[in-house]
Amino acid sequence: MSEAESIQPSQLPGGMQLHEDCILIGVQAANRVEVLRQLSARLARLGCTKAGFLEALLAREAAYPTGVPTRTMAVAIPHADPEFVKKASLAVAVLEEGVDFGQMDDHERTLSVRLVFLIALPEAHGHIEFLRRFALALQTDDFLPRLLTARDSATVRDIVIEQLTTVDEPTVSGQA
């Protein structure tokens, strides 16, 4: 058993898991394919995905882009079909420089992304609580900027856990 496999993943709302080994900081990549390759390799090494996951992920990204403009910055939320997933998992990449992802709601546009959240779900409509909380977290003013300034994977893990377990409604600057 490797050192990474001996460390238990953190549990997120809705039964999702976040393993510290699936959080990459300071990623240098020329394009989205390189980022997705790195993240999917981590998930595969931990037994979270099945053979064909990367290919399915890249095909889905080409057909259905996952770049999302949020209030604070653009992010990418790629995922593959459930048939290629064994364990509900989240992998996170914090990039040194932005890479282009197609915009989800406008396939003609690209967004420069420095945060990638690879979501691996074994059921098409499962883990609704995780997805609900994740969507709310993306709308807050401090979640994404805090992740960008994190210096290590443990800090990213802690921010994600804190945000997803405490978020109920979006917090907007200047509003109580």
The sign of the dihedral angle between the CA atoms of 152, 136, 39, 106 is negative
pLDDT score of 5: 43
pLDDT score of 103: 97
What confidence category does residue 101 fall into, taking pLDDT thresholds of 50, 70 and 90? very high
CATH architecture of the domain with range 12-166: 3-Layer(aba) Sandwich (3.40)
pLDDT score of 107: 86
Average pLDDT of the segment spanning 20-38? 97
Average pLDDT of the segment spanning 133-159? 94
Per-residue pLDDT tens digits for 31-73: 999 999 999 999 999 999 999 999 999 999 999 999 999 999 9
What confidence category does residue 169 fall into, taking pLDDT thresholds of 50, 70 and 90? low
**10 or 103, greater pLDDT:** 103
Q: Which two tokens stand for residue 78?
A: 């790629």
Name the average pLDDT for the chain. 89
C-alpha closest to that of 156 among 3, 27, 6: 27
Average pLDDT of the segment spanning 86-96? 96
Per-residue pLDDT tens digits for 7-16: 566 778 777 8
Tell me the one-letter amino acid at 118: L
Q: HSE-up of 88 (CA within 13 Å, CB side)?
A: 19
Report the DSSP beta bridge partners of residue 18.
10, 90
Can you give the chain as a three-state secondary structure string?
Answer: CCHHHHCCCEECHHHCEEEEEEEEEEECCCCHHHHHHHHHHHHHHCCCECCCHHHHHHHHHHHCCCEEECCCCEEECCCCCHHHECCCEEEEEEEEEEEEEEECCEEEEEEEEEEEEEEECCCCCCCHHHHHHHHHHHCCCCHHHHHHHCCCHHHHHHHHHHHHHHCCCCCCCCCC
